[in-house]
Chains A and B, each alone.
Chain A
């Protein structure tokens, strides 16, 4: 076992101990787990639903479910896998409800939201963070990317966020989404194609004018 594997193993052991303590009602252990997953859950949630306030509410729900559901956590997968699955399921349910509500209120459910329109990520959610290390993206580029992401189907968005946003490997994604490994790869590539298409549309001024 190499050092990285050993570190991961130690981390898993520590997490297992924390889970056991939390299941026994140890409030301190619950606090550690909550703190460990707070950012991860919120990050995934916010990329999935695109609204900071909604993401915060959902994260609170998910973390509560995480703690109260620990007694039902069987340990067959890692805790993170379980929590990510919980996060995606909750986020997708929320998105479905939102679409239904929009449709019911007479809005066009499938409209392509332009930058700054309802449902897109507010500037405040990203403005305060340091820029990426590899690419300095302008706010317009970020906006386009997020808008394109928002146009994708829920599963495509989840695949891209898990892979590129959270840097998870295929096996873990396969576990989270409960899909065969080959299916994950296939759908992930299709998600990349869909994203490229959406970006190409958004990056063309003429296309944007048409969309409006």
Chain B
């Protein structure tokens, strides 16, 4: 390299001259020594000019969405990691481990049974009150394994109304026909539950919410569970049905959505959500909870509730809650995790793709009222159940 340095100045000295970092004395001494070398001084001045031109170069502007894109990517990986560290409450661990594929069929039977009750109400059987009367012979009969086994067994292949007093043959055929139509409609509209019940070849956690309209819903649920147990034997010995508490303002007395009432407990679920403030949490083994005071050792603190509603209701709720863009939603479909950056965006996946939804809020508590409002505005139609976990980014005091 040709160095413009015939005077053996060191590089640091020449650099200091070019960059103007010499003291006045150093500068004067340098000028005295090198001033007679016009070529060197010209080269150094040109370097000063180059430096100024470099400094004055326009800086290319970064794409505006760059930071947001990166943040979305990072958040996605964080959420996936969070799932590994603190999975949502999985009620399968509180239940028998030997549920196999039979459970799927059992769940389906339960669904059909629920449909039968709806049909029975629709048909206004005269004997309905007797069926669910606490001391009725019919209810006792349903509870008897032998008798109910026959009933459910035939229901699976040839649905029959759940009435103890034998209907006429005409009534039976008519009811069966309507029942099949009803079940078919339910099947079409409740894809999510059916997909969970039928498509998964693994132990499946069923939290079926039967939509039962009866004069005594509690008794109806009991009948359904009894029949289910009778049909499935040991395989479904732990089957439970969660009677959905009616929400005010809903005329059918069936589950609404986004009921966010707190569980009246001073103990919380460990390892997942330390503050399960939600309702509809299926039976939780008390010993598996930890005192609130012990929650500090869990990194993720959050709220848990269940959005229970129709697919369109849930969509509306999620969109309502996300309209202010203060929240991100991650949904996990079967084998296809994804991130919804903007909840209000039209690309919310169909509910058939939902497996789990996480709402990522900075201030969960502040949003509960909004959720209530959205719930109150919901309409009713066949529904699905989506467990939702809200994770607070800051520890809750």
Which residue numbers of A lie inside 8 Å of B, CB to CB?
25-28, 30-31, 34-35, 38-39, 41-43, 46, 52, 55-56, 59-60, 63-64, 67-68, 121, 125-126, 128-135, 137, 141-142, 145-146, 149, 160-161, 163-165, 167, 182, 185-186, 188-190, 192-197, 199
Contact = CB atoms under 8 A, between A and B. Distances in A.
Contact of B66 (A28, A38, A129, A167): A38
A196 B59 contact: no
A189 B15 contact: yes
Contacts of B62: 38-39, 41-43, 56, 59
Contact of A56 (B50, B54, B63, B78): B63
B12 A189 contact: yes
Contact of A42 (B14, B46, B60, B362): B60
Given A26-B393, A186-B12, A196-B47, A35 B67 contact: yes
8 contacts: A35-B67, A38-B62, A60-B73, A63-B67, A126-B58, A188-B15, A192-B51, A195-B50
Question: Closest 4 A-B residue pairs measured CB to CB?
Answer: A132-B56, A42-B62, A129-B58, A164-B54
B234 interface: no
Interface stretch (B1-9, B95-103, B108-116, B253-261): B1-9
B14 A189 contact: yes
A74 to B, nearest CB: 20
B67 A190 contact: no
Contact of A190 (B1, B53, B60, B73): B1
Interface in B1-38: 1-4, 10-12, 14-15, 18-19
Interface of B: 1-4, 10-12, 14-15, 18-19, 43, 46-47, 50-63, 66-67, 69-71, 73-75, 77-78, 299, 360, 362, 393-394
- Main SS class of interface, B: helix
B61 A27 contact: no
Dominant SS among interface residues on chain A: helix
A197 B11 contact: no
Nearest to A127: B58
Contact of A68 (B18, B66, B77): B77
B71 A164 contact: no
Contact of B60 (A52, A60, A68, A163): A52
B51 A31 contact: no
A129 B59 contact: yes
B312 to A, nearest CB: 30
Contacts of B10: 186
A42 B66 contact: yes
Contacts of A149: 54
Contacts of B15: 185-186, 188-189, 192
Given A26-B393, A192-B15, A34 B70 contact: yes
Given A128-B61, A164-B54, A193 B3 contact: yes
Nearest to B9: A189
A173 to B, nearest CB: 12
A165 B57 CA distance: 8
Question: Of residues B59, B69, B77, B362, which shows the largest number of chain A Cβ atoms within 10 Å of its Cβ?
Answer: B59
A56 B66 contact: yes
